């Protein structure tokens, strides 16, 4: 089984990108987590799309989503909601609208996140739900993972330094993989 994980942050020292890398190393046997990127995706512009089609970074991400068995969104929380760059990337990947059923329809999706604050991205994760429903995704609700106090959870090198969070992340991934396996044809 092959999942795709995408961090919603462009920052080099992102806690969410660190959480995604940790997840890739904790995948259950028989599964793997490839890491996609939103880097290089311009702001959505319908005129640009009409004139030039999908930018290369968008086409690559869209293909990765389509070819994966499941999608793990690792979301920061900006101003109590979804980061604009992350939402923009998913908006681009949903273009043209006729491709939504092929790329997102029935796609198994889970959302996690890390924040230096006390609430661990709960509002951002909740804000993703109507977006993912609109795209026709099947959202895994069998667990939640909101990493708060991220500055204490990750080492200076970006590695996961908290064994309790590591255990929770491993259990979360096992649950999500089980959910995806249950829906594979």
Domain locations in the chain?
2-183
Mean pLDDT value across residues 148-166: 95
Q: What digits encode the pLDDT tens for the residues 17-51?
A: 999 999 999 999 999 999 999 999 999 999 999 99
Q: Is 99 exposed, middle or buried (0-12, 13-18, 19+ CB in 10 A)?
A: middle
Mean pLDDT value across residues 110-128: 95
Give residue 170's pLDDT.
Answer: 98
Give residue 59's pLDDT.
Answer: 98
Can you read off the two tokens belonging to residue 151? 């500055």
Give residue 143's pLDDT.
Answer: 86
Q: Could you tell me the CA-to-CA distances from 113 to 51, 77, 78, 83 in Å, in that order?
A: 36, 8, 12, 12
Instruction: Say how far apart CA 19 and CA 160 lie, in whole Å.
Output: 7
The residue to which tokens 């681009």 are assigned: 92
Assigned CATH for 2-183: 3.40.50.360
3 and 34 in contact (C-beta within 8 Å)? yes
């Amino acid at each position: 089984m092959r999942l795709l994980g995408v961090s919603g942050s462009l920052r080099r020292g992102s806690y969410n990108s660190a959480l995604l890398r940790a997840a890739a190393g904790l995948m259950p046997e028989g599964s793997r987590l490839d890491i996609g990127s939103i880097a290089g995706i311009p702001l959505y512009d319908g005129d640009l799309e009409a004139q030039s089609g999908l930018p290369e970074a968008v086409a690559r991400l869209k293909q990765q989503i389509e070819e994966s068995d499941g999608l793990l969104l690792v979301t920061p929380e900006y101003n109590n909601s979804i980061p604009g760059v992350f939402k923009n990337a998913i908006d681009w990947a949903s273009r043209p609208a006729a491709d939504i059923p092929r790329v997102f329809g029935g796609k198994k999706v889970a959302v996690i996140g890390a924040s230096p604050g006390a609430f661990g991205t709960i509002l951002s994760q909740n804000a993703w739900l109507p977006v993912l429903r609109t795209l026709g995704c099947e959202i895994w609700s069998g667990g939640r993972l909101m990493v708060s106090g991220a500055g204490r959870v990750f080492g200076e090198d970006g590695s996961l330094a908290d064994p309790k969070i590591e255990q929770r992340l491993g259990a979360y991934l096992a649950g999500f993989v089980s959910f995806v396996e249950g829906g594979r044809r």
